[in-house]
Amino acid sequence: MDRAQAAAWPETTALRARPCDRLEGVVRAPGDKSISHRALILGGLAVGETTVSGLLESGDAMATAEAMTAYGAEASRGADGVWRVHGCGVGGLGEPDRVLDMGNAGTGVRLLMGVAAGHAFTSFFTGDASLRRRPMARAAAPLREMGAAFLCRGGDRLPLAVTGGRPLLPVEYRLPAPSAQVKSAVLLAGLHAPGVTTVVETERTRDHTERMLRVFGADVTVEDRGDGARAVSVAGQPELGPASIRVPGDPSSAAFPVVAAACLPGSSVRVEGVGVNPMRTGLFETLTDMGATLRFGNEREEGGEPVADIEVEGAELSGVEVPPERAPRTIDEYPVLAVAAACAAGRTVMRGLAELRLKESDRLAAVAAGLADNGVAVEERDDGLVVTGRAGRPPGGGTVATRLDHRVAMAFLVLGLLSRHGVAIDDAAPIDTSFPGFVRLMTGLGAAFSR
């Protein structure tokens, strides 16, 4: 498949990645998925018109855009590529006249559960087969404490109905396990409650919601409670003003060309405009520990988020033990980090990854099975993986079941580029969830794919 064919090729079929000698070029990763969800939602809760450039136009983000439109906040793309969201104000959304189908958007549905909890009507949510299997209990529990009512399947799974609290009550909620999505759902609900709503986290999680709330004019405070505990509070019932948001490139998407280039000696790739929020840089730190050559340049701030260009040169990598406390800052990147480990010399130990069993698939099991099927020595543990690399190209030659998981699909296509015999995946369609144009971008750097 050449570059022209790749540009017209729909990512909706089985796909094989062929071995690649080197990667070279300059690319920009698609917009950050987490920030795109939040920009659409907070734009809908502001008064006036919010502009969003660089929005991720993937299945996940579009599900959130359609949901906000169903709530009465107009969200549309202009001819200039800029999205404009006409907000209704905090508490001003209207009752949707249909079930909100969130597709595969786990972040979108959990954040919108928090928004729905603040409105005195009933919202109905569903999703695709993968999302309907994922438990929503962690997000529903604090929202119930605040006064919202839920009707759902066993395990608080979709489809579910949320009826907002009358009135919604402010709470101080201590997260039983680290989760930026649960924290964000509570803070978004707290916008609709009188007084101050607080979330206490004992392990720091992504702070995109806190950063963006401030951009829209919310009163957000962060307090160190000692022993590592951190309290994030938001004052309820504000009038949020419109904002101009530029969405940085998603570091979780940038991870795929970065890892591919880092593992191929002779490669030279620059990924421009990547978000480098400290809570998202665990992969880059681990690759550096493994001996990768990464340089960060043109550092700046956009929309309250730190951004940089990342230059990568291929090198020989060595296995490492990844500190378990790094897991919250790396959680979405472990599938492709496991691919880097398969190319490194020696053992790479990854621990503290139990949350991966609750993602779009059981990612620990999916990654372990895919590596084993391609000749890589791997040990699956309850909360982690141990991968023993061969200091170079792993064998490859297998076909991987993606299990409707976009990150599993892309990780094993990267393995195919780095392997001796290539790797096939059974379904490339889930890639559109977070990285539309993945094949085109990688082909532009010199990758080769075939059906």
Whether residue 156 sits in one domain with residue 100:
yes
Q: What angle do CA 107, 191, 307 make, to 5 degrees?
A: 50
Whether residue 403 sits in one domain with residue 286:
yes
Whether residue 263 sits in one domain with residue 158:
no
CA distance 425 to 370: 9
Residue 358 is predicted with a pLDDT of 72
Whether residue 287 sits in one domain with residue 179:
no
Whether residue 53 sits in one domain with residue 163:
yes
CA distance 187 to 448: 44
CA distance 48 to 364: 44
Residue ending a domain, among 197, 226, 246, is 246
Angle of helix 251-262 relative to helix 282-289, nearest 10 degrees, comes to 20
Residue 138 is predicted with a pLDDT of 93
Whether residue 403 sits in one domain with residue 261:
yes
Amino acid at 46: A
Give the global pTM.
0.89
CA distance 253 to 260: 12
CA distance 55 to 407: 19
Domain span at residue 293?
A: 3-31+248-450
Predicted confidence pLDDT, tens digits, the chain (451 residues) = 444 444 444 445 899 999 999 999 999 999 999 999 999 999 999 999 999 999 999 989 999 999 999 999 999 999 999 999 999 999 999 999 999 999 999 999 999 999 999 999 999 999 998 899 988 999 999 999 999 999 999 888 999 999 999 889 999 999 998 899 999 999 999 999 999 999 999 988 999 999 999 999 999 999 998 888 999 999 999 999 999 999 999 999 999 999 999 999 999 999 999 999 999 999 999 999 999 999 999 999 987 899 999 999 999 999 999 999 999 899 999 999 999 999 999 999 999 998 888 777 789 999 999 999 999 999 999 899 999 998 999 999 999 999 889 999 999 999 999 999 999 999 999 998 889 899 999 999 999 999 8
Whether residue 177 sits in one domain with residue 132:
yes
The DSSP result for 7-23, as a single string, is: HH--S-S-EEEEP-S--
Residue 261 is predicted with a pLDDT of 98
Whether residue 255 sits in one domain with residue 175:
no
Whether residue 39 sits in one domain with residue 13:
no
Residue ending a domain, among 216, 246, 276, is 246
Residue 416 is predicted with a pLDDT of 98
- The residues annotated with a catalytic role in the active site are 332
Whether residue 230 sits in one domain with residue 353:
no
Whether residue 119 sits in one domain with residue 13:
no
Angle of helix 406-418 relative to helix 334-343, nearest 10 degrees, comes to 20
Residue 5 is predicted with a pLDDT of 43
Short-list 80, 81, 27, 87, CA closest to 56? 81
Q: What angle do CA 356, 362, 366 make, to 5 degrees?
A: 110
Residue 11 is predicted with a pLDDT of 44
Whether residue 93 sits in one domain with residue 40:
yes
The total domain count for the chain is 2
CA distance 144 to 366: 33
Q: What angle do CA 54, 59, 63 make, to 5 degrees?
A: 95
- CATH label of the domain that carries residue 368: 3.65.10.10
Residue ending a domain, among 215, 246, 277, is 246
